[in-house]
Structure 1
Amino acid sequence: MRTTKNPAGQRTRAVIYCRISQDRTGAGLGVDRQRIDCEALAERNGWDVVEVYVDNDVSAYSGKKRKDYQRMLADLEDGTATVVVVWHTDRLHRSPTELERYIDLCEQRGVSTHTVQAGELDLATPSGRMTARILGAVARQESEHKGHRVARARMQKAMAGEWGGGIRPFGWGLPTGETKTVVDRKTGEEVEAPVLDMNKAVPEEAAAIEKGHETLLAGQSLKSWVRWLADKGFLTPRGNPIGHVEARDMLLRPRNAGIAVYKGEEVGTGLWERLVPVEKHRAVVAILKDPNRRTSPGSTPKWLGSLIYRCGIDGCTATTRVTKAGGSKRPGYRCLTNHGGARRADKVDEYVVDLVVERLSRPDAADLLAPGPDDLNVTGLQQESEAIRRRLTDLAALFGAGQISMVQFTEGSDVARAQLEGANQQLARAATRDPLVSLVGAPDVRKAWNGLELEQQRGTLRALLDVTIRPARPGRMPDGSYFDYRAIEIRWKRQGALGPSSRSV
């Protein structure tokens, strides 16, 4: 029965709701087709469409908030319309909870629902509500089955080392020479796009990833690599500038080392080209995840000991920064908590540099170098890591088949993960570069030190000693100066750093 006018002779007010779960092209063509069909249904019934609500690329099953759907409910509550037009009921709901709320609202406000594909749903009657619930249950079952199929397919691809789909990862996607027809996200027009081989590395981007690893292994910061990427004109696969977060994520990807991952777990070796050796990847991951080295992506330190030197006032363990606070005319190191006085930054840095240069100029400076990777069997460690990952996979399969208990699965997994962490740490050590290498054995250590970038000097400082700034004594010192060098407490980290001629204080 057509409902074109209400008892007062006015035309019926209707709203249209359109939704598509996944818009791969970004052109919105799916919701456009729904809207056209819904407008045609409203036209046939003589309804006035007062609003069209669109949720594009939003799944009802996922639980993600649908802004326009919520806006439609609020408008129906306010009496905006008495008819909702939708292409199919599964465009409205795939959650029983959502459906029941919608039914209650329609009963309270006298709203009827009409669909292009399933006809009218009279939610004011028991049979209409039953029909809506049955259709909702069927739609939810379809979503669950689809979710399981997609998850299973992704897991199988990951286990086989295949590309799992999604946005092109920076570093891969070499054009094959073929093209395919796609829809432009901005214009909605069909265009020809190159077909990419996600197993083949893009030479320029692969070199950039390798440069990032070398930068961190040389003791420089992540920010310096971000600046390098910007200077070279590199962008993300979506065409955006590469910031600190994006750069960090790029270097943390196991894919760089040819490692396949599923749900955060390493599951094997990928079929794609490897950009860096596994040991280099492990070393860079260790650097980026080391809480002692993690710094804010804010301003770049301009002084040797900024956020490295520690405050020694009343047992305070906070680090210091350089500031002119307190009316000082010269930059000075002051505790981050701002208690106590400041110590002249140039004097402190000069003293620390003198200590480092003097110690590294001695004949026995080579004793300070950390053990190298020569004693490590990298191939054996990689094989050990692969065997442990297979054991984790086998444990999961046994538990899923009910052949072992949860306690057995948990205990076995904990042991395997601990062993895997140990093997990964050893692999990381194989690629870690000692920041002292460029200084030890140099004909002129001070000249070599001055030739380093500040970030490399700071890396050497972190590796070699701890500096704590204690409260200074007032007045003139025995050497005639007013700077209390004895208040700069030095603790050497490397075994063999101290010796007869060491200037420890």
Structure 2
Amino acid sequence: MSPTIAPSPRVAIYARQSEDVDQGIVQQLDDCRKEAVRRNWRVVAEFRDNDTGASKARGPKTDWSKMLREFDAGTFDVLLVTETSRLTRSLTDVLDVCPPRRDMRVVVIREGIDTDIDDFMLKQLVLLAEREVKIKAARAARYAAERRKEGHPGAGKTPHGYRWVPASDRGLTNTRYTINEAEASDVRRIFAEFLAGAPLGQIARDLNDAGRSTRRGARWRSDLVRRILMNPFYAAQLPPAQPTGKHSLANIDVEACTPGAWEAIVGLEQLIAARGRLVGVKPNHNGTARRWLLSGLAVCSVCSEPVRSARGRTHPTARKDGTGTSPSKLYHTYRCVNGHFMRNGDVIDDYVAVMCVARLSEPDAVALLVAQPDGEDISALHNRRDALRASRKNVFRLIDDDPARLADAEDRLNDLEHQLRTLDEEITKVTSRSPFADLVGVEDVRAWWESATLARRRSVVDFLMSVSIRPVGKGRRVATWEAVADSVRLIPKV
């Protein structure tokens, strides 16, 4: 009677690595395939987890979970891996493949492990790997604490406006960020436009119209603009660490930030002012961008409703020589939502622009544009803010030395927090009083106006005057500024 030949086992290959690099996965699969050929085993499935850590829980969407489900379904008999560390660095995962939960045969090529013979070595190597992970984590936490104490950010996505400095180029300052001027100009523009009153959507549209794009080459959106305005990094402030997966710019306490060891792109008062307008306010990403100077600003003189922009179409008559009509053309108009008029918008825009430039060119314009704050200047407010922050730190030190003092210190901490919030509101007000400070000293106001964004021009119009448009009668053309002046009323605000 001839001996019974055992059937060739069905083999599944598992490959994993922490970094998102295809080469490592490809090499693991290639090594496992060669081993399967050497043993005359048949490969029936391959599982790969790229950019997946082995010391953290692997969710239901990973190939690790898929591999376990396939084993439970009877798809394969043997799991083949190159190294124990490719399988896992957690004993919890080992228990997923060993009895009593599962009796999976695992073969590890480089360590010469076969759990069909003995699974002791597999568990020992995983325990050693798990211990190494914990030691590295403790070492990394200590390094991170020292790094934060010196004001250095951790490695990660570098904010738009900065460039990450490699370790070999940091020099004595050891700074991680250096300003990317091309991108930093976008950041400065975003803060300046927002603090001058421009909506988020309008800022995004103006950036796109100017040919600017994000670092990835994408178009700007209002939510991206909002994130920049909320980010303390731009004022060289290092925010406190947040739980993994729960990072939120809105939850960052600027008072808890520490000075960063890199150059600021905007001032701290600008950051405080911007966040003061955004934190706690529900994001609104719809319908805020405008294409024309007066849409939503001017009103109808009959019903006082804000006018809308629209497109008109010419209706040319036949030529005198009988050769037909000239082509019909679209043109920009303003219309009353209640139907009182639809008028050519270009000539009205030009007239309002001329009047704004004339007003900004008058001798008293500087006093209007940069009103002096009532009371302390911005530097004095910052000095008071620094003193309050120092007092708060002293209270926390007292609590650390004697936790029993927490109840007594609670009222003092609440008072300091209230003073800091009040001071931040005052800084926001002072900063907002000078939205057009960049106009001071400008000799050619007309050139400034022509180079300004639509959002900035609209802010100037809204700051200087109220615009009321009157109907002129059906079929009447208003093509000169003199005619516009008779039908467009400008009411000065300042």
Question: TM range, normalised to the smaller chain?
Answer: 0.5 to 0.7
* Alpha-carbon distance in structure 2 between the residues aligned to 1:104 and 1:348: 82
Is the aligned partner of 1:244 residue 2:220?
yes
Correspondence for 1:279:
269
TM-superposed CA distance for 1:428, in Å, is 4.9
* Alpha-carbon distance in structure 1 between the residues aligned to 2:129 and 2:287: 46
Change (3 A) 1:152 1:385: farther
TM-superposed CA distance for 1:31, in Å, is 4.5
Is the aligned partner of 1:304 residue 2:293?
yes
Correspondence for 1:10:
7
Change (3 A) 1:286 1:113: same
TM-superposed CA distance for 1:67, in Å, is 3.1
Change (3 A) 1:358 1:408: farther
Change (3 A) 1:309 1:41: farther
Change (3 A) 1:121 1:417: farther
Correspondence for 1:261:
239
Is the aligned partner of 1:57 residue 2:51?
yes
TM-superposed CA distance for 1:66, in Å, is 5.2
**Counterpart contact for 2:16–2:52, Cα < 8 Å:** yes
Identify unmatched segments of 5+ residues in structure 1. 1-6, 180-193, 498-505
Q: Which moved more, 1:402-411 or 1:82-91?
A: 402-411
Matched positions, count: 445
Change (3 A) 1:225 1:454: closer
- Report Cα offsets for 1:14-53 as digits up to 9, x if no partner: 11212223x2xx5456546655665566456543333332
Q: Secondary structure at the match of 1:16?
A: strand
Correspondence for 1:186:
none
- Report Cα offsets for 1:168-216 as digits up to 9, x if no partner: 554345679x68xxxxxxxxxxxxxx9998627656x246515641564
Correspondence for 1:157:
147
Identify unmatched segments of 5+ residues in structure 2. 242-251, 316-329, 479-484
Q: Which moved more, 1:256-265 or 1:388-397?
A: 388-397
Q: Secondary structure at the match of 1:199?
A: coil
Is the aligned partner of 1:114 residue 2:107?
yes
TM-superposed CA distance for 1:432, in Å, is 5.0
- Report Cα offsets for 1:314-370 as digits up to 9, x if no partner: 999xx77523499998755579xx898875472986897798689879887677546
Correspondence for 1:171:
162
* Alpha-carbon distance in structure 2 between the residues aligned to 1:418 and 1:305: 41
Correspondence for 2:324:
none
**Counterpart contact for 2:58–2:65, Cα < 8 Å:** no
**Counterpart contact for 2:21–2:51, Cα < 8 Å:** no
Q: Secondary structure at the match of 1:165?
A: coil
Change (3 A) 1:77 1:359: same
**Counterpart contact for 2:273–2:432, Cα < 8 Å:** yes
Change (3 A) 1:426 1:362: same
Correspondence for 2:84:
88
Change (3 A) 1:387 1:53: farther
**Counterpart contact for 1:93–1:136, Cα < 8 Å:** yes
TM-superposed CA distance for 1:138, in Å, is 7.7
Is the aligned partner of 1:72 residue 2:63?
no
Of residues 281, 286, 310, the one that matches 1:323 is 310
Is the aligned partner of 1:209 residue 2:198?
no
Q: Which moved more, 1:71-80 or 1:345-354?
A: 345-354
* Alpha-carbon distance in structure 1 between the residues aligned to 2:400 and 2:123: 33
- Report Cα offsets for 1:131-165 as digits up to 9, x if no partner: 99998788667656654543443233112212422
Q: Secondary structure at the match of 2:371?
A: coil
Q: Which moved more, 1:430-439 or 1:212-221?
A: 430-439
Is the aligned partner of 1:20 residue 2:17?
yes
**Counterpart contact for 1:216–1:284, Cα < 8 Å:** yes
Q: What amino acid is aligned across from residue 454 of structure 1 in structure 2?
A: L
- Report Cα offsets for 1:204-237 as digits up to 9, x if no partner: x24651564156426573554566674xxx973x
CA RMSD of the aligned region, Å? 6.0
**Counterpart contact for 1:89–1:118, Cα < 8 Å:** no
Q: What amino acid is aligned across from residue 56 of structure 1 in structure 2?
A: N
**Counterpart contact for 2:370–2:437, Cα < 8 Å:** no
* Alpha-carbon distance in structure 1 between the residues aligned to 2:99 and 2:489: 73
* Alpha-carbon distance in structure 2 between the residues aligned to 1:409 and 1:491: 55
Q: What amino acid is aligned across from residue 236 of structure 2 in structure 1?
A: G
* Alpha-carbon distance in structure 2 between the residues aligned to 1:334 and 1:20: 62
Q: Secondary structure at the match of 1:241?
A: coil
**Counterpart contact for 1:84–1:114, Cα < 8 Å:** yes
Q: What amino acid is aligned across from residue 148 of structure 2 in structure 1?
A: A
TM-superposed CA distance for 1:92, in Å, is 4.2
**Counterpart contact for 2:188–2:265, Cα < 8 Å:** no
**Counterpart contact for 2:60–2:66, Cα < 8 Å:** no
* Alpha-carbon distance in structure 2 between the residues aligned to 1:445 and 1:147: 59
* Alpha-carbon distance in structure 2 between the residues aligned to 1:439 and 1:155: 44
* Alpha-carbon distance in structure 2 between the residues aligned to 1:313 and 1:118: 90
TM-superposed CA distance for 1:423, in Å, is 3.7
TM-superposed CA distance for 1:458, in Å, is 0.8
* Alpha-carbon distance in structure 2 between the residues aligned to 1:414 and 1:466: 44
Q: What amino acid is aligned across from residue 309 of structure 2 in structure 1?
A: V
Q: What amino acid is aligned across from residue 67 of structure 1 in structure 2?
A: T
After TM superposition, list the pairs within 5 Å mapping 1:361-400 onto structure 2.
368-369=368-369, 371-372=371-372, 376-389=376-389
**Counterpart contact for 1:175–1:195, Cα < 8 Å:** no
* Alpha-carbon distance in structure 2 between the residues aligned to 1:114 and 1:436: 71
Q: What amino acid is aligned across from residue 217 of structure 2 in structure 1?
A: P
Q: Secondary structure at the match of 1:84?
A: strand
* Alpha-carbon distance in structure 2 between the residues aligned to 1:309 and 1:402: 63
TM-superposed CA distance for 1:12, in Å, is 1.0
**Counterpart contact for 1:267–1:389, Cα < 8 Å:** no
Correspondence for 2:175:
199
TM-superposed CA distance for 1:88, in Å, is 2.0
Q: Secondary structure at the match of 1:244?
A: coil
Correspondence for 2:248:
none
* Alpha-carbon distance in structure 1 between the residues aligned to 2:429 and 2:421: 12
